[in-house]
A and B are shown apart, each in its own frame.
Chain A
Amino acid sequence: SQQGEEDPQALSIQEGENATMNCSYKTSINNLQWYRQNSGRGLVHLILIRSNEREKHSGRLRVTLDTSKKSSSLLITASRAADTASYFCATALMDSNYQLIWGAGTKLIIKP
């Protein structure tokens, strides 16, 4: 079952610009997590935001969560070539302590 859907599927911007990716989900969640995947490699955890939180920051990353709209956004400010990767959101459902449901990802390309 695919609960999280990222938007857009692909995004290409110039280095230095900000990149925004969105994630929508269908059912109530415990938390939402964002991960980064460089081409064909393992995923790396970026941020976990709990359902009672609205915003979290980590360096150049800002994540927001709107539970009324069942959506989250990931903002990368002042993008760099090294930010080129795929970004995935994963939702932890309220009725499941053990599973994360993953979206198909946003492919981000930073042009030098």
Chain B
Amino acid sequence: EAQVTQNPRYLITVTGKKLTVTCSQNMNHEYMSWYRQDPGLGLRQIYYSMNVEVTDKGDVPEGYKVSRKEKRNFPLILESPSPNQTSLYFCASSLAGGSSYEQYFGPGTRLTVT
């Protein structure tokens, strides 16, 4: 089954404790992206990747890191999480060129930073 998976689905952590949210897709998509969703603000893009070893900042990259060492995986790293990073996070992938093709979304990771 074609899908985007994220882990963990739920995470409660404390300020400053490094964490990684994994994302994997099995569709051989070139483009992958991370979003955060906050009430009333829609989706905001954090980082995106056009292909292996190619990443770039989205609209709200501060406090986040990403890497793309393999085509299928695109982990999101919070080196020192803060309470304002409490949010619902989505990973997405598409065939190529993020805005020209439909995006496939993972189920989301609900992160709470206390």
| A residues apposed to B, CB below 8 Å | 1-2, 4, 30-31, 33, 35, 40-45, 48, 88, 90, 92-93, 96-100, 102-105
Contact A44:B42 (CB < 8 A) given known A31-B100, A99-B58, A99-B98: no
Set A4, A44, A99, A104: member contacting B99, Cβ < 8 A: A99
User: Is B50 part of the contact surface with A, judged by Cβ < 8 Å?
Assistant: yes
User: Is B73 part of the contact surface with A, judged by Cβ < 8 Å?
Assistant: no
A residues near B100, Cβ cutoff 8 Å: 30-31, 92, 97
B residues near A44, Cβ cutoff 8 Å: 105
User: Does B99 lie within 8 Å of A97, measured CB to CB?
Assistant: yes
User: Does A42 lie within 8 Å of B31, measured CB to CB?
Assistant: no
Q: How far is the CA of A98 from the CA of B98 in the complex (A)?
A: 4
- Would you mind naming 10 contact pairs between A and B with Cβ atoms under 8 Å apart? A30-B99, A31-B100, A41-B107, A42-B105, A92-B100, A93-B99, A100-B45, A100-B98, A100-B99, A105-B42
B residues near A92, Cβ cutoff 8 Å: 99-100
Set A4, A31, A40, A93: member contacting B88, Cβ < 8 A: A40
User: Does A103 lie within 8 Å of B99, measured CB to CB?
Assistant: no
Set A40, A48, A96, A104: member contacting B40, Cβ < 8 A: A104
A residues near B98, Cβ cutoff 8 Å: 97-100
A residues near B103, Cβ cutoff 8 Å: 33, 35, 43, 45, 100
User: Does B56 lie within 8 Å of A98, measured CB to CB?
Assistant: yes
Interface bits B51-69 vs A (CB < 8 Å: 1, else 0): 0000010110000000000
A residues near B48, Cβ cutoff 8 Å: 98-99
